[in-house]
Structures are given as C-alpha cells and as structure tokens.
Structure 1
Amino acid sequence: MTTPTGPAEGFPAPGERIGPFEIVRQLGTGGMGVVFEAVDTALQRRVALKVISPHVAGDPAFRARFTREAQAQASLDSPHVVQVFAHGEADGSLYIASQLIPDGDLGAMVRAQGAPPPRVALELIAQVAAGLADAHATGLVHRDIKPSNVLLRHRGEDVTAYLADFGIARRVDGDTGLSPPLTTQGAAVGTPAYMAPELHTGGRPGPPTDIYSVGCLLWAALVGSAPYIGTTDYQLVTAHVSAPVPQVAAAGPFEREVNRVLRSAMAKHPGERHPSAAALRDDLRRVLATIPAPASVEPDDSVEPPTVSSSSVPTRRVAAIAVGLVSLLGAGAVHGVLTLRSDDAGGTGRGAGGATSSEPAHEDGLTRAQRIAAANIAAALDADADLDVVAAECTARTLVRRSGVDGLQEQGLIDDDLDFVDSGGTGAIDPQVYADIIEVGVGCVFESVGLGAVPRPATLVE
C-alpha cells in the first residue's frame, strides 16, 4: 500500500460518510481501492475502512471475491489477527471495516530502524505464529505472509503483532481439499521472496507453506532482509528450492537454537517442518524463556545460495509450449491469432512500456507496478502454460515492456490488482494479446534453451 499524496479522486473526502462510517483521513492506496481512517458513528470507534475502486466493484466475480475475503477474516477470533468488524455496500461503494492498527508494519519498521533486537524479533514472530495457528484452526491458509502483512501496535516498551490481509486466503475443506482461491484463477499466489519451495514448483498451499513463510519472516526480522536475495528472478526461485537454509553466525546457545528453528521452519520438504503453527509458536517461546538473547545477531556468510544460470533449464518443445499457451488463454486465443493481420503483431499504439504512474523506474527499466505485473503473469505462465521459469519471466517482462501496465489492463490480461486474468475462453481478453503472448513466449523458449541470451534484470524482493 502506498502513502497518499492527496485526496483520491472518486472516493469520499474527510467528513463524508459511507454508511455509518465517517471518513477521518486517507491512510493509503492499493491495487483495488483506498484505505481510510474512519469513525463508526454507531459505536464511536475508529476503524480502518477499505473502500473498493468503483471500476472493479461492479465486476460480479470481484464482488464474490471481496465478500469471501471479508468473511474469511471475520471468521477469525484471535488477539494476533486483524479483526474485521463489518463489510457491505453503501451508496454504491463496497467497503470493509476492520481493526485500526496504528503503528505501521514490520517491513516499514525494519526499513526505518533496522532489525529489532533478537528477543523482540522472536517475540513478534511468535505472535504471528500464534495468529496463524488460530487461522489454521478455523480452516484458513493465509498464503501471503510477509513483513508488510504484519501490523504493529506499540504500547510503551511492548509491541503487539497482528497478521493482516487475508485477501488471498482460502479455506481448507475436509472432504474436497482446498476451496477455490480468492484471487483470480491462474494468478500468482503469495510473494516469491517468502514462498515455500513447493509453491514455486506447482505444489498446493497449505499449513506447511504458511509455516515456511513464517520461517522466512523470522529471518527477515532477525537480519533485516529476505532470506534469499537473487540477482535474477530465476536465482531467487532456485534458491528457495535448493539453496541451504540461511543461518545466523553461531556464537552461542541462543544463535544455535535460532538456527535449529530456522532449519525446521524453512525445511525444503514440508514433512520436515514444524508440524503446526502452534508448534512453531511454542518453539520460539521456549527459546525466549530458556536462553538469554544477545544484543544482535549476524548472518553466517558461509551459507550462501548457489549461483544459477539459465543453461540449467531443460529444453521444451516449442509446439508443446504453444499448445500450453492456447490452453491457458482459452479457445479465443486460436481465433485471435488467426484473425489478426501480421503487421499488427507488434502491438503498436499501446504505449510500449507505459507505467500506471510517474514513479521512477527500477534499474531494470521497469516501475514497481510493472515488475509486480510481470511477476504475476510469469507465475501463471509457469504454472499453467508449460513454460519453464526462465521463459515465463522473459515472456512476462517482454509483454510488460511492450504494452505497459495500462495497456495490459485495457487488453484484459491483468486486473486492477495487477493479477493475471484467466478468461476461460470467454473472449474478455483483447485478441491482440493472444498473438503477442504466443509470439513472445515461443521466442523466449528459443532463448531459454540457448538460441539467444535472455536478459535477467534484478528481481523485486519485498
């Protein structure tokens, strides 16, 4: 969520109301709306009020997703999960009112102040694990645990952590397994820097994948950065899959115990992790109760992720890739490719590489929004179109550079949350984009198997 620079156009201003909620001030903006501090005039309490953008609120699929998000989080009763008070519609605006946590998030705290003392770090992550245990007990898997989704409240020397944003959570059903996700089908699930290895290779999310993410969160709280920081997206994913679990320099019993917790929580195989979030919570609290913590810890630089190159990616048949792309995009892809004139394939007139804002570009030439969109598109292509990681990322970044975020949203390939849109063959996607994806995807497959160099810009690690 970004800090506001002025009133959001089309949204209520301070003093105006949405239902029983009177707007106090704007807190920030996100992909699907604006968050305000507001007052519930019926109960006279301050809340965080998320108001959904009108241009997405009218979509029936989105409205269903929004309702499930609110119901999922409202079903939780935990001292370490942000509580949802109400959700609904008023004056044409969808909203969700939740507990107002006033002191920012863990990621912002680490960026501003550096990593907290080890004892504080372990206590905060134990609280997150406690909230997660409560969520798992109700049948919910979070799927996007990261520093920005851990909100903080300071009371004197005490800090309380709250697990927030169950927007992509989904319920675990005893008979049928996992219910459909709240995100658009085919979109990326979670944040790559904190995702379990099995999610990078097509596995299904569940309590063990959340536990892995909490292990990553523990590392970030202890040393101030994500556990793996690759120079490319491919290196980042490969490190999660095969690199050693990061360790702190073992100067004493506290550090050795922390390393043991990290090895268990971040074990590559799900069956080797803590058996539950409650077990991880108890393990952290046991360490805190029995061993004095040092003033600080440092990472063990001898434990480094391996260097990875695209030459290790297996060759795929180009015909199979094209079939996979058509399968992912729906039957409309065939019609789109066959009916477009060849001189239209370049996508001219859409503003190559256009951004959604005037934010500065990253060193790879893409803005933050463009990199997020590219990561989401790549995840969908990798999971469902038979593209390997390198070719999927090459395809996604080329599409973003060619059309920009605004262009891809206009074509219907990504939504306002920057998530990939699975049209299911409904024709919602501009036919031009079908031709673009297949053209670019096949080219990137050739490059990924050694017939050309694939540019590997630095990854976004949150």
Structure 2
Amino acid sequence: MDETSGQDAGPFSGRPSELIGRRIAGYRIEREIGRGGMAVVYQAKDLRLDRTVALKLLAPELARNDTFRGRFTHESRVAAAIDHPHIVPVFEAGETDGVLYIAMRYVAGRDLRHLLDREGPLTVTVAARIGIQVASALDAAHDHGLVHRDVKPGNILVAQGTDSDHPEHVYLTDFGLTKKSLSLTGFTSVGQFVGTLDYVAPEQISGKPVDGRCDVYSLACVVYEMMAGRPPFRRDDDMALLWAHQYDQPPALSAVRPGIPDAVDAVLAKALSKSPDDRYDSCLAFVSALRIAARGAATGGGTRPGAETGDVPGGPGPVPEPPAWARPVFRS
C-alpha cells in the first residue's frame, strides 16, 4: 500500500475526489460510480491482475461491529461461490484500514433506474426479457441459501447484449450488504430500511422471517414499474408507504397502462400478494407466468382470492380502512 494508506483520514473522510488515484487494498481508485447511505462504489484498477473492477467501500462504522463483520464475511463468500451469468461476480472481499471492501466485476452499462428515468415505461416484451434474467439470478441465489432482500432498479445493471435476439444482458448486484446483515447489528430496525421502500415486502416491514418469496414480491414491484413507469404504491411519506405494502391492493396495471392483457393483472396480483404463501414459489415461476400472460395465453390463475372483497389473502379478514395519512397519492 502506498504512503497515503497510513494517513489518519481513512478512505471515507473528506470529499470523494480526494480518493481518486489512491491505492486501497491493491486497487487504485479511478472514479466514483455510485453512492448510498452505507457504501460508495468506485471504478478501480486491480494492480495485481491489471483489470478494471468495481470496488465497494462500506461505511467505517460497519467494520467496527463484530456481528456485521461476521455476517459480511459469510455472505460475501456465499455470493462469490455463485457462478451465474446474471450475477455480478465477486472477486474479493476483505478489510483494510478499518474499512470493509468488496471487489466485483466492472459492468460497462447503466442500471435499470437510469434506463427507466431516461426512456420511461418499457414494453411488456422488454420488461419480461429483463425480468427473466433477474429472476434466474435470484433463484440461483436462493438455491445457495441467500436471499437478496433489496431488489430494486438501482441493483439491476443493464449491459449490451450479444445480438438482436438478446439486446441486453442483465446483472443483479449488491448481495454483500443485505438488510439482514444490518438488522442483526442494530443499524436497522422495523420501519427503518436501507434504500428505498418502494419494493419492500410486507413480511420485511413486520419483521417476520423471510425467504426467497420476499424477493418475488420485490421483483414484482420492479416489473410493475418497468411497465407502468412508477412503482405499485405512491404515498406522501414513508409510514403511508409501509401501510400500503401491508394492506392496500396495488392498482391494476391495465388501469395505468391501457392495452395490457387482463391476464397480466392476475399474474402481478399473485406475485404481489401480502402473504408469501399466496405468491409464486420462485421468481422464474412468476416471470414465466407473466410472459405467458403477455402473449394472451390463459394463465389458469384467475382473480386473486379476496380481490373483490378487499380481503388480504391469508390474512385475518377485511383490510382496515386506511387513516388519512395512508391514503393513495394521485399525481399527473
């Protein structure tokens, strides 16, 4: 490590530009490419293998928590062991100067958040094509006992595909910093989450045990947004949004975007069920059903039980009338 590595400042102090050109754990920082509340991602050069990588530096307070450090090490190893074409490969994870870091493949492209902001709603065909790649990645992670818990457009990278039949190649990223890791350390609690609340499953909000079906719900929120141009629920504040995920039925996609087959509404309703038991068992099962529905074929799913009466499937009865602060927001 060079002479700057021993400075008291540390990798997270000062302005981001101060890290450009600095060497950290065998990587030379070149530019910042992403930032969140608990981590910063840089494009960096691997000085040992002379390759470009994405280097994520986690906030220093996380490294000072022994529970998080243990969880981070375990989940990073699991993520690195997953060899899948739609999961960003993890090259290395470790600690240097009191900061945890993850080195991953650098993907030249943009994330789905930027794509949607620039191009607006996508066609059903494109949404399903992106969704099936994300679903495949999630199911592979579930097979390794890893639940992502933070599926959102910002964690889906869209790179150039191989040919006209595969115009985009999608990667799922950010397995190394899960909500489970943070909740075990006290950095999060019920009602406080890392990242946006637009895609969080009801059981995550209530603090119940989660499995891969919480990723089914989050993926369904992302797929809905890809086609509608907005997430299923929009509210004025976080508490109202949490209420909506737990109790409100999402607007039918066909009401937001005319021309969508009714069968697509039924598939999304099932994937967005409040109870995990009422959702698809896997992400691929959800997106496969969506593709069939989009072609106008019969899905056999019908209307979700309780959709007409307002009952929550698997719930204790009628949904309570939302208080004024939890009512929907309608914006043009």
Q: Distance in 2 between matches of 1:283 and 1:198?
A: 23
Distance in 1 of aligned mates of 2:59 and 2:242: 33
Partner residue in 1 for 2:235:
230
How far residue 458 of structure 1 moved from its aligned partner, in angstroms, is 10
- The residue correspondences of 1:245-264 to structure 2 (distance < 5 A) are 245-249=250-254, 255-264=261-270
The match for 2:114 is 108
Q: How does 1:38-437 map to 2 (within 5 A)?
A: 38-54=44-60, 56-90=62-96, 93-155=99-161, 158-169=167-178, 181-183=181-183, 184-185=185-186, 187=189, 188-189=192-193, 191-249=196-254, 255-287=261-293, 290-291=295-296, 308-309=322-323
Q: Deviation digits for residues 121-148 of structure 1, max 9, x if unmatched?
A: 1211121111111111111111121222
User: For the residues of structure 1 that align with 2:182 and 2:65, how far apart are their CA atoms?
Assistant: 14
Q: Which has the larger radius of gyration?
A: 1
* Contact kept? 2:244, 2:326, Cα under 8 Å: no
Q: Distance in 2 between matches of 1:202 and 1:56?
A: 21
8 A Cα contact 1:52 1:93, kept in partner: yes
Cα 1:90/1:78, change in 2 over 3 Å: same
CA contact 1:232–1:457 (8 Å) conserved in 2: no
What is the TM-score normalised by the length of structure 1?
0.55
Contact 1:143 1:168 in 2 (8 A): no
| Counterparts of 2:115 and 2:224, CA distance in 1 | 15
1:308 partner amino acid: P
Q: In 2, are the aligned partners of 1:18 and 1:93 still within 8 Å (CA)?
A: no
Matching residue of 1:427: none
Whether 1:20 aligns to 2:29 is no
2-structure distance, mates of 1:235, 1:208? 23
Distance 1:265 1:204, change over 3 A: same
- For residues 42-85 of structure 1, the C-alpha deviation after alignment (integer angstroms, 9 at most, x for no partner) is 32221100123445534434433432342242132222222211
Please state which structure has a larger fraction of its residues in helix.
1
Take 1:456 and 1:273, find their aligned partners in 2: how far apart are those partners? 24
Letter of the structure 2 residue corresponding to residue 17 of structure 1: R
Alignment partner of 1:34 out of 31, 40, 44: 40
Alpha-carbon contact 1:192-1:237 (below 8 Å) kept: yes
> What is the CA deviation profile of residues 300-327 of structure 1, one whole-angstrom value per residue up to 9, with x for unaligned ones?
xxx99997216xxxxxxxxxxxxxxxxx
For residues 224-265 of structure 1, give each alpha carbon's deviation from its aligned partner in whole angstroms, at most 9, with x where no partner exists.
11101123444323322232233122766x622321220121
Going from structure 1 to structure 2, the CA distance change for 1:42 and 1:167 (only over 3 Å counts) comes to closer
Q: Residues of 1 paired with 2:215 and 2:155: CA distance?
A: 13
Secondary structure of residue in 2 paired with 1:115: coil
Could you tell which deviates more after superposition, 206-215 or 226-235?
226-235
User: CA 1:237–1:56 in structure 2 vs 1: closer, same or farther (change >3 Å)?
Assistant: closer
CA distance in structure 1 between the partners assigned to 2:248 and 2:99 by the alignment: 47
User: AA paired with 1:98?
Assistant: M
Once residues 76 and 93 of structure 2 are traced to their aligned partners in structure 1, the CA distance between those partners, rounded to angstroms, is: 7
* TM-score, reference length from structure 2: 0.74
**DSSP 3-state at the match of 2:261:** helix
Describe the shift of the 1:230–1:10 C-alpha distance in structure 2 as closer, same or farther (beyond 3 A): closer
Amino acid in the other structure paired with 1:216: C
Aligned partners of 1:266, 1:101: CA distance in 2, in Å? 30
Query: Which ranges of structure 1 fall in alignment gaps of 5 or more residues?
Result: 1-6, 171-179, 293-302, 311-454
Report the 3-state secondary structure (helix = DSSP H, G, I; strand = E; otherwise coil) of the residue aligned with 2:198. Answer: helix
1:189–1:204: structure 2 CA closer, same or farther, 3 Å change rule?
farther
Distance 1:45 1:268, change over 3 A: same
The 3 A distance-change label for structure 1 pair 164 and 306 is: farther
- Per-residue deviation, 1:285: 4.1
| Structure 1 position 181, deviation (Å) | 3.8
